[in-house]
Structure 1
Amino acid sequence: MLRLKAQNKYWLTCTQCGYETPNFWTWFDQNQQCPKCSSKHSEVSYNRRYQRLPRIMNRVNDSFWTYFPFLPLLRRRHIVSFKEGAIPVERWGFLEEFAKKEFNLDIKVHVYRNDLNGGTGTFKDIAASLAASIFSEIGINQYCIASTGNSATAYAKYLSKANVNCSVFMPEDTIGTSEATITSYGQQVFKVSGDYARAKEIAAGYAKIHNIPMSTGNIDPIRVEAKKTMVFELLRQMDKFPDVYIQAVSGGTGPIAIDKGIREIKSIYPDIKNPRFMLVQPDGCDPMVSAWEKAEVEGFPEGFEKNYPIIDNPKTEVPTLATGNPATYPIVAKLVKESGGTFLRMRETKLLSIGKLVAYEQKVIPGPASSVCLAGFFLALKKNKIKDGETVLINIGEGPNRAPYYLEQMVNTSQLVSKVEECSPHFIDDFRKELWDEVLRD
């Protein structure tokens, strides 16, 4: 724990009224909100020269902590890490070939492989690493979080390494592997009767009764600061910053963080701008898509972003995306609109088809949320949302280890036999055609 609270590396500024909070000690003393207007949305600013950033990008990068000068931690000795954040941006040629063959588009398709993160193999690892490190530095030893799975798993692991007690509140239909993983790190789980919204409600009550800090969700400045480093990594690894960004969305920290990262480095990268955000939801839980479609029909009237439905107890095959009350939609929808992007709805009946196709073509088995994201690429092509010559980034979230039930459903060619005469060779090209037919069939 660092006892000296005076520092000049960073401060937090309220996005509503401009009030400045000097550090994270004070931020948590204020119950993670602005004392002037009560807004929970503050952003971190730095007293640092960004001219250093290109030199830092040229270093050997083994985690997002390479960008320590632009993260809100004062001492490196407090870093809690499993080598997360330095993950490859891959070119997936089979998607490029499909776009050329079916739509006559010459595009570059890159995939950001969060399943290769060193912590739990999800997009949540970098946020959990920064949170654990800050908690270690400022002396927080109790924390609570409501989650549908991936955030809780990541926070449980990293906070356990930092010796921080974490209480996790999850909807009752959360997959068992998440619960087992969290408790194996010594953290406690409360399974709540009801959906994610109810889990958040119970968690908030618990936090208030026991005076324990609670995650503020997708606008949490710790989450945003960690995930903004994706902008730095895209600049480091790609010849051209993406024109289009595709992601499965539950709350929307990804686009919020990209916007923050781009604004932060405008002084040295004046030409960089937000990609067109194309955010994908499954039809089992699609409140943001429904709100967007309504606004689109109405011509996006003033204040459209404040009008969105709430889905109670959403029934979806992708529990990590089961956020029926999208409280961050007002922020995310404005970013999507300003970027010229859109929201896309995918049919959950296509989940396995997408997963099997990607596994065959790329030899990468995606998790269910990642399959939702990848489905967004096909939808964007079909809806003419991608232009010739553009660079597309697909940000996939997790691999099959986070959802073994999904992997089990992908069994396709196995046969039960009792004698050798029942066995015959197969032809892999027939299998490939079958997979593509499943994906493209309306």
Structure 2
Amino acid sequence: MRLRVKRQKKYYLKCAGCGFVTPSFKAWFDQFQKCPNCGSKHSEVWYNTSYKRLPRFIKGNPQNFWHYFPYLPLVLKRHIITRYEGTVPIERWHFLEEFAKKEYGLTLEVHAYRNDLNGGTGTFKDVAAALAASIFKENNLKQYCIASTGNSATAYAKYLSIAGVNCSVFMPEDAIRASEATISSFGQQVFRVMGDYAKAKEVAAEYARRHHIQMSTGNIDPIRIEAKKTMVFEWLRQLGKAPDVYIQAISGGTGPLAIDKGIREIGHLYPDLQNPRFIMVQSDGCDPMVQAWEKAEAEGFPEGFEKNYPVIDNPKTNVPTLATGNPATYPIISKLVRKTGGSFVRMRESKLIPLGKLIAYEQKMVPGPASTVCVAGFFNALKKNLINDGETVMVNIGEGAVRAPYFLEQMIYTTQEVTNADE
């Protein structure tokens, strides 16, 4: 069986820089996840599988994203690890539509992509962790290292523990304690780094180098991209189309990169399918991408604008899962956002709790802080005239409040303290 995996012809990885072809993930790991020709860590997965069957897969009521197995980089189904992730409901959120109509005269179709209902850890990260665990199992990988502000680490810790892979997790000092406790409960090693996320990544990289352990390559990781591209398949399955606008709270930006990859991959089969306008949202507690975008926009987007971005050391924010002060993927993300006619917008953290309460009241679900940032982006996009009449908007609900107990506690507003029934 190992020979079959080693010599597989289902997929290959192609360097986004020089075009060098890596034949399998086994070879990719042997190369320590970089191109041996040019040194780039950015390679994309492509398939020798026929896409004529894809319309048949975009039907039915699948239990998880492995429904799209022919278009995922795993050779043998017996290596699949799943906790029912990746086929979450896409809900119509009428209260956002009604607001847009009342305040701006816009008739919109607004949908929420409910990643908080993923079966693993209830976050946007579950699909990537499920694919990673399965690929590691197939390639007999026993050690892995990841730096994370919380949600990615929690998902990887769970799924890798199921696969029998030891995962060393490096978290910044302001990471949520609940995430640390969850990771530790799975038996995975946690290192709380005294510093911000950038420092955690630095220490993790040195640890991985010294101990010869594979480490996540971050937002351009082909495993993450391949897992999250399946949201495009889900749009087609549940809506029959891609949205005109896609809104997401952004830390690094795998989401839009994955959407772009998915659409490029099946464009020959669906010629009318195109990228939505990407509206990326950051809070004012940590907004380096927004700052960079506003500067570039004011200067008319000069050549090389994507290379000019600030670095925020030790950001002070109430949304630690989005606290990427050094946005290394901005050069890639910003060009994609500009190409689609999208934008980066900022929300005020002082609005987090009131908006979280509003969402909970209207939709009977309690969003996590990052999800609340995303929904705030919808309101700001309306204010900035970034959404047009008649458009379909997709809002990515990346997590629920269960991932952030401190945030959930602030939702209390109907409680009265009493000593007897007369009060």
Equivalent-residue separation in structure 1 for 2:8 and 2:167 (angstroms): 28
Pairwise mapping of residues 179-218 of structure 1 onto structure 2 (< 5 A)? 179-218=180-219
Partner of 1:19: 20
Q: Which amino acid aligns with 2:263?
A: I
The answer to which of 409-418 and 130-139 deviates more is 409-418
Provide, for residues 280-328 of structure 1, a one-character-per-residue CA deviation record: whole Å limited to 9, x for no partner: 0000000000000000000000110111100000010001000001000
Pairwise mapping of residues 270-281 of structure 1 onto structure 2 (< 5 A)? 270-281=271-282
| 1:10 aligned onto 2:11 | yes
Shift in Å, 1:417: 2.4
Partner of 1:96: 97
Structure 1: 5+ residue stretches without partners: 423-442
Q: Which amino acid aligns with 1:13?
A: K
Q: Which amino acid aligns with 1:2?
A: R
Pairwise mapping of residues 105-254 of structure 1 onto structure 2 (< 5 A)? 105-254=106-255
Shift in Å, 1:124: 0.3
TM-score (norm 2): 0.99
Contact 1:207 1:213 in 2 (8 A): yes
Shift in Å, 1:60: 2.9
Contact 2:10 2:49 in 1 (8 A): yes
Q: Which amino acid aligns with 1:327?
A: A
Percent identity over the alignment? Answer: 71
| 1:331 aligned onto 2:319 | no
Partner of 1:426: none
Partner of 1:320: 321
Equivalent-residue separation in structure 1 for 2:171 and 2:295 (angstroms): 31
Provide, for residues 15-50 of structure 1, a one-character-per-residue CA deviation record: whole Å limited to 9, x for no partner: 010100000000011110000100000000000111
Provide, for residues 189-208 of structure 1, a one-character-per-residue CA deviation record: whole Å limited to 9, x for no partner: 00000000000000001000
RMSD of equivalent CA atoms: 0.9
Equivalent-residue separation in structure 1 for 2:71 and 2:193 (angstroms): 38
Shift in Å, 1:421: 4.1
Equivalent-residue separation in structure 2 for 1:363 and 1:59 (angstroms): 27
Partner of 1:368: 369
Equivalent-residue separation in structure 1 for 2:74 and 2:168 (angstroms): 24
Partner of 1:432: none
Contact 1:240 1:391 in 2 (8 A): no
Q: Which amino acid aligns with 1:412?
A: Y
Pairwise mapping of residues 385-424 of structure 1 onto structure 2 (< 5 A)? 385-422=386-423
Q: Which amino acid aligns with 1:382?
A: K
Equivalent-residue separation in structure 1 for 2:342 and 2:406 (angstroms): 33
Equivalent-residue separation in structure 1 for 2:168 and 2:240 (angstroms): 43
Tell me, what secondary structure is at the counterpart of 2:73? Answer: coil
Pairwise mapping of residues 40-59 of structure 1 onto structure 2 (< 5 A)? 40-59=41-60
Which ranges of 4 or more aligned residues in structure 1 deviate by more than 4 Å? none
Provide, for residues 336-379 of structure 1, a one-character-per-residue CA deviation record: whole Å limited to 9, x for no partner: 00000000000000000110000001111100000000000100
Provide, for residues 214-272 of structure 1, a one-character-per-residue CA deviation record: whole Å limited to 9, x for no partner: 00000000000000000000011014320000000000000000000000001110111
Equivalent-residue separation in structure 1 for 2:220 and 2:240 (angstroms): 30
Contact 2:241 2:273 in 1 (8 A): no
Q: Which amino acid aligns with 1:381?
A: L
Equivalent-residue separation in structure 2 for 1:307 and 1:202 (angstroms): 25
Pairwise mapping of residues 260-279 of structure 1 onto structure 2 (< 5 A)? 260-279=261-280
Shift in Å, 1:420: 3.8
Equivalent-residue separation in structure 2 for 1:100 and 1:374 (angstroms): 16
Q: Which amino acid aligns with 1:62?
A: Q
Structure 2: 5+ residue stretches without partners: none
Provide, for residues 130-176 of structure 1, a one-character-per-residue CA deviation record: whole Å limited to 9, x for no partner: 00000000010000000000000000000000000000000111111
